[in-house]
Structure formats: C-alpha cells, structure tokens
Amino acid sequence: MSTCSQVRRITSVDEAVAIVREAAGSSSSMGRRGLTARGLGRSYGDPAQNSGGLTLDVTGLDKIISVDATGDADPVGGEPTVDLQAGVSLDTLMKVLLPFGLWIPVLPGTRQVTIGGAIGADVHGKNHHTQGSFGNHVRSLDLLTADGEIHHLTPGGDESDLFWATVGGMGLTGLVLRATVAVQRAETAYFTVDTDRVGGIDDLMTQMTARDADYTYSVAWFDAVTSGDRMGRAVLTLGNKATVDELPRTLRRQPLAFTAPSFGTVPPVFPNGMVNALTARAFSEFWYRKAPAHRVGEIQNITQFFHPLDIAQDWNRVYGPAGFLQYQFVVPFGAEDTFRQTLEVITSSGHYSCLNVLKRFGEANPAPLSFPTPGWTLTADFPIKPGLDALCRRLDELVLSVGGRLYLAKDSRMTAADLRQMYPRLDEFRAVRERVDPRGLFTSDQARRLEL
C-alpha cells in the first residue's frame, strides 16, 4: 500500500542528535508522526517506513572505526572485535574483515543489511543452532534515545534491559549509532559442505535432528509445491568453515580471496503471475534434481553457500509489480505434527512458493522481542494474489495453536492481537520503551500497526 514519508540521510552523530532533539521538541506533524531509522531497506514489511513522519536513512554512518584482529582488547578470551558505525553493511564489513582472517559470526540471507538493522531485527543465519543470532555477538552499542542522550550499553551492564530491548526491538528504543561486535577467526573464505537429497518432510526432520549438531551451518531447501508422499522433499546442506588444508591446491594460494560474481540486474519487465503453478513446479523439480543425491566435503565459496540469490540483483522483480509476501514462523520442538500440517496447508492452497527454507533454531537470547526460539522455522515466498490473506491467517492459527511466532522483520500483515500472543514478553519491552521514550518518538508503520 502506498504511503509517503520524508527521508533524511544522516552522515554524522551530531546531526542525528540535532534531529532527534528538534523532533522531540516539535509539535509539527513531523514531531507527531515521529522518527524511524532505515538502513538498506531489506525488511519485507513496514518496520523501516513511517508514513507522515520522518525516516532517517543511516547508511551515511558508514565508518569502521577499528578492527581488533588479535583480540588484545579482551585479555581474558582474546576475542577479536570490530568497532563500527551502524550504517556499515555486512557486505562491506565482510570484505574488510576477510583479509584480517576474520569472519562475521552471523550472516542472514542477504549481506545487504546494516549493522543497525542486524541488531534491530536480531537477524539469524544458518548457524543459529550452534552460534545464536546477531545480538549474541554484540559486545556493546551506542544508542541515541528520544531525549537526545547517547547511552553506551552492554549485555550485562547497568542498562542491560535497554540493551536487550534494542536487540530485536525493531528500532523502537532509539537510534543505534555504533556497536562493537565480536568476530571469528577464519583461515579461508570457503566452506566444506555435505549435501543430501531427502525424499520427504519426515525423513528431512529426522536427518536434521540427528545431524545438525555435527555442523556449524545447517539449512534445507524444500519443495512446497509437491503434495502426497513426496511432500516436503528437500535438499539438505550442512557445512563448516574450511581450513586451508581442506582447500584444493589452486585455492590455497589465496584462501581468503572473495569475489562476488554477478550475472547482472533483473530488468523490471516481468508481469504479475510469472511465478505460478507451472513455473513453480518446474523450478521445484529442477532445484531438487540439480542437487546431488549425496555428496560429502564439497568446497563452496561464500556466494554458493550463503547467498546464491545475490548473483542476480533485484531478483524480486520476477514476481512482477504486485510483488510477493514472505512468511516466516517458528514452532517449538514437539510441535512436529503441526509443522507438517502447515506444509499440507501450503501445498494444497493453490499458492506457490519456490524459495522455501527449513531450519532448526537453537537457544534463544535474552531479548524480549527476538524472534528465534528453540524449534523449527519455515520461510516461504508467496506471490501476492487474491486469497493469500486467507492462507496466511490459516497458517497464523496453526502457529499460534502451538505457541509459535512470526518474525517481525518479515511480517507485513499480522495483527496486534496475534502479536501479543506470540511475544509474551511484549509488556517487558513496552516498559523499557516507555521509560526511555514515553512519547513514542521512535516509531514506524509497523509499530503503529502492531501496537508495539
């Protein structure tokens, strides 16, 4: 739906402070409609939109202040860290860190995400079951609150409740200006990957449960079009960071080299309805068949392993002007029957999703609005067409019936009442927000829609 907002790009901390103070003291429409932080705009819904108000584009806060590659600043653990501004993208950071032999601990499905966004949505990756979400790796952050003050927050410090409300807080506690993030040592920019084709959903879930713990990274693509016995047939990929020894001779000379191949940009020529029964079936068949039935120890680069979609920019255009809706939920372990039922509902719905991901989450972190909780998470992309609202509501009901939840960074349509049920610690979050921003200066279309 169309909305309008004024966007201002901020390039310095002083500028950010001045804008927040001005807006806080203003009774104009901009003051009333509040402020929203926006990074690279990769949320699927409205969390970085602010109709009628002011949207602050923070991508100008793009300085990497220091990299502690040796871990000197941490005499106990010797943990390497990077100190950087909130507008730096994970893509930039990754390219800066690799030559130091360092690796970002959590990478979501795209690298076009800012540090501020990664904290605000508490993003997760294929290693959630072993290493948690992004917030687990943030050692400190500077938060500009509605009163114009900057708080230096740590996970266990004086205002640890504000730190954890900011992690996963969708930008509603204030503006993240700067953060110190723990990073990992890496010998290479490659991964050793085991791939298996799995014939159906039950087998897939059994295999993931049995094998996940042996790998840092684990994820499955599954077929959400085919029903019957082969419902949920999947390609399971399990991987670890590769050591230099594991690389073939040709790659050993430059083990940390990274090139991002691009096949160019998808032009905006696709009409609606190109992702349909026919193309989705063909794609799903192809994607399943192209995967090896069983392969062990393949060396894959970053793009192959993490971001196969990044080789074509603006790939979303194949969905046409109507676009698509991303739906991601998690249901707790033990709710496998309900999980299977969601898949039955999807495959029999007449809505076709090609890019479907299944993953097991590990332990949650202390953030009250953080999405990942122990259980099964499913992601699907549906082209927008009539009846999709009814399908999503049916899925909501199933997810709610077993105490599951939807991901705020992907949500664009859930209701305030459902959110309250999904996030039982919402009041805790609201109390912190009420303390630091009683007028609700920091807000968003999503915050208004969901009464966050």
**Choices 2-10, 115-123, 135-143, 260-268; region in contact with other proteins by CB under 8 A:** 2-10
Which residues, including other chains, have CB under 8 Å from residue 274's CB and lie 6 or more apart? 318, 319, 320
Q: How far is the CB of 412 from other proteins (least distance, A)?
A: 3
406 binds other proteins (CB under 8 A): no
Considering only 20, 23, 34, 45, the residue that binds other proteins (CB under 8 A) is 45
336/445 with CB nearer other proteins: 445
Considering only 325, 355, 378, 380, the residue that binds other proteins (CB under 8 A) is 325
CB 118, CB 100: distance < 8 Å: no
Binding residues for other proteins, total number by CB under 8 A: 28
Q: How far is the CB of 415 from other proteins (least distance, A)?
A: 7
Q: How far is the CB of 51 from other proteins (least distance, A)?
A: 4
CB 326, CB 381: distance < 8 Å: yes
Which residues are registered as beta bridge partners of 241?
191
26 binds other proteins (CB under 8 A): no
Q: How far is the CB of 387 from other proteins (least distance, A)?
A: 9
Q: How far apart are CA 72 and CA 310, in angstroms?
A: 35
Q: How far is the CB of 120 from other proteins (least distance, A)?
A: 19
278/416 with CB nearer other proteins: 416
27/250 with CB nearer other proteins: 27
CA terminus-to-terminus distance, the chain? 20
Q: How far is the CB of 102 from other proteins (least distance, A)?
A: 38
**Choices 74-82, 188-196, 235-243, 409-417; region in contact with other proteins by CB under 8 A:** 409-417
Tokens linked to 30 = 């901009």
397 binds other proteins (CB under 8 A): no
149/397 with CB nearer other proteins: 397
Among residues 322, 244, 235, the alpha carbon closest in space to that of 286 is found at 235
186/398 with CB nearer other proteins: 398
User: What's the burial of 79, exposed, middle or buried (CB within 10 Å: 0-12/13-18/19+)?
Assistant: middle
Q: How far is the CB of 406 from other proteins (least distance, A)?
A: 12
φ, ψ of residue 240 to 5 degrees: the values are: -135, 160
Q: How far is the CB of 422 from other proteins (least distance, A)?
A: 16
46/57 with CB nearer other proteins: 46
151 binds other proteins (CB under 8 A): no
219 binds other proteins (CB under 8 A): no
Cα–Cα distances (Å) from 29 to 6, 24, 52, 171, in that order, read 11, 12, 7, 20
**Choices 92-100, 159-167, 291-299, 384-392; region in contact with other proteins by CB under 8 A:** 384-392
5 binds other proteins (CB under 8 A): yes
269 binds other proteins (CB under 8 A): no
**Choices 18-26, 221-229, 358-366, 407-415; region in contact with other proteins by CB under 8 A:** 407-415
Query: Which bin fits 195, alpha (ψ -120 to 50), beta or left (φ > 0)?
Result: beta
Q: How far apart are CA 20 and CA 129, in angstroms?
A: 38
Interacting residues with other proteins between 421 and 450 (CB under 8 A): 445, 448-449
Interacting residues with other proteins between 48 and 87 (CB under 8 A): 51-53
38 binds other proteins (CB under 8 A): no
394 binds other proteins (CB under 8 A): no
405 binds other proteins (CB under 8 A): no
Which residues in this chain contact other proteins in the complex, by CB under 8 A? 1-5, 29, 32-33, 45-46, 51-53, 325, 384, 388-390, 392-393, 412-416, 445, 448-449
